[in-house]
Amino acid sequence: MTEVRWAASEPARHGKLQAAQVQRWREQGFALVHDLLPADLLRRVARDAEQAFPAPGTEAARQVTGFGSDQHFVFPSNSAACNQLTLHPSLLGAVVDLLNVSVTDVRLTQSDVWVKYGREPSAHNYDNADQRIHCDYPNHTLTHPPPWDQPDAVEIILYLAEYDDCEGATAVVPRSGADDPAYPWPITQTPGVNHLPYINDRQRAEVYLREHDPTVANFRQTHLYAREEQAQYRFGSVLFYRHDTWHRGTPVKLGARRLVANFTFRKAASEWINVLHPGWSWSMYRPDQMMESIIAKASVEQRAVLGFPPPGSSFWSSATIDAVEQRYAAFGIDMSPYRRALA
């Protein structure tokens, strides 16, 4: 049995990250934060998710061996609580602190709830029960993460379950300075990059690498698996990490169901980081008019995070302000901040 190492964690300060947490994210590549978001909102999100996903132990649950919610919780979802969480000022504030930009220069590119059931791993390459260690960048960006000291995205896992009930902590490898042998440049030592095919299952990925690229296989054993630490979450804990942080999902306790919300925010300028879902405006014709209502009721900052031009943008003229006001008139949009910036 290998010894379990726990990653450092601590509570946030009144809905705000502490300076030490920002520093840990910038230097080590992650911060595990408790009590950042209001517990009642998190309970509402969890309740919506618990109702939507199959109960553990059912045949439907046994079919789930990968991630996602079949679009059910993709922003904007039917769960008003989930939409509120995605744009919660404390979550956006944390991203602002980590990326060191103003909130109108932040963009949302992922928001979904994922379920993971505790079960024996199935024998296929894409099984997520016991993941190969990896960085998240390949299926988020068309390029490669920028140099370490200029991060342009924040990856987020928000746990809607208790570790003691579910286990399945995310394992992370803390980076220790520019010369850390676990963090060479560029990041190509992982399935799904360059000539290496994408394999999610740890056992299968490492067997493949040992046969086809033993140097990479050795690097991963020596510098990554041997140094991983477990993020021992609680209900509502948030793991902030990056597109260039080594990490992986570990097995959930047999018979348990672990729910998490996943978010990605990027700098507005980094257009090469893609939205993982259909664009937000694709939801505009839904009968519940959820998206129209979100735009009308959101703050100027929250709208900007969805790509709506902030006050002062070159898009705004008195003509475009009037037009947008009329589009959302029935939802009570207040365009006065945009008008004021024009004057």
Ligand X SMILES: O=C(O)CCC(=O)C(=O)O
Q: Which does 67 bind (CB under 5 to 8 A by kind): Fe ion, ligand X, none?
A: ligand X
Of the candidates 255, 41, 213, 103, the one whose C-alpha atom is nearest the C-alpha of residue 221 is 213
Closest CB to ligand X among residues 82, 135: 135
* Nearest residue to Fe ion on Cβ basis: 136
Nearest distance from residue 208's CB to Fe ion, in Å? 18
Closest CB to ligand X among residues 276, 341: 276
Q: What is the residue type of 84?
A: Q
Q: Which does 83 bind (CB under 5 to 8 A by kind): ligand X, Fe ion, none?
A: none
10 pairs with which residues across the strands?
33
Closest CB to ligand X among residues 234, 327: 234
Of the candidates 208, 49, 41, 176, the one whose C-alpha atom is nearest the C-alpha of residue 114 is 49
Closest CB to ligand X among residues 161, 333: 161
Q: Which does 56 bind (CB under 5 to 8 A by kind): ligand X, Fe ion, none?
A: none
The residue ranges that bind ligand X (CB under 6 A) are 67, 116, 128, 136, 157, 170, 247-249
Closest CB to ligand X among residues 67, 225: 67
Nearest distance from residue 300's CB to ligand X, in Å? 32
Q: Among 8-16, 113-121, 134-142, 211-219, which window interacts with Fe ion (CB under 5 A)?
A: 134-142
Closest CB to ligand X among residues 28, 302: 28
CA–CA separation, 220 vs 130, rounded Å? 15
Q: Among 31-39, 135-143, 231-239, 332-340, which window interacts with Fe ion (CB under 5 A)?
A: 135-143
Among 48, 97, 136, 228, binds Fe ion (CB under 5 A): 136
Closest CB to Fe ion among residues 170, 293: 170
Nearest distance from residue 133's CB to ligand X, in Å? 9
Strand order in the sheet with 153-159: 9-11, 31-34, 238-241, 153-159, 257-267, 106-117
Nearest distance from residue 75's CB to ligand X, in Å? 18
Closest CB to ligand X among residues 79, 250: 250
Q: Among 102-110, 130-138, 266-274, 305-313, which window interacts with Fe ion (CB under 5 A)?
A: 130-138
Q: Which does 225 bind (CB under 5 to 8 A by kind): ligand X, Fe ion, none?
A: none
Nearest distance from residue 260's CB to ligand X, in Å? 6
Asked if 228 interacts with Fe ion (CB under 5 A), we say no
Residues 71 and 114: beta-carbon distance below 8 Å:
no
Nearest distance from residue 24's CB to ligand X, in Å? 18
Nearest distance from residue 139's CB to ligand X, in Å? 8
Nearest distance from residue 16's CB to ligand X, in Å? 25
Chain residues binding Fe ion by CB under 5 A are 136
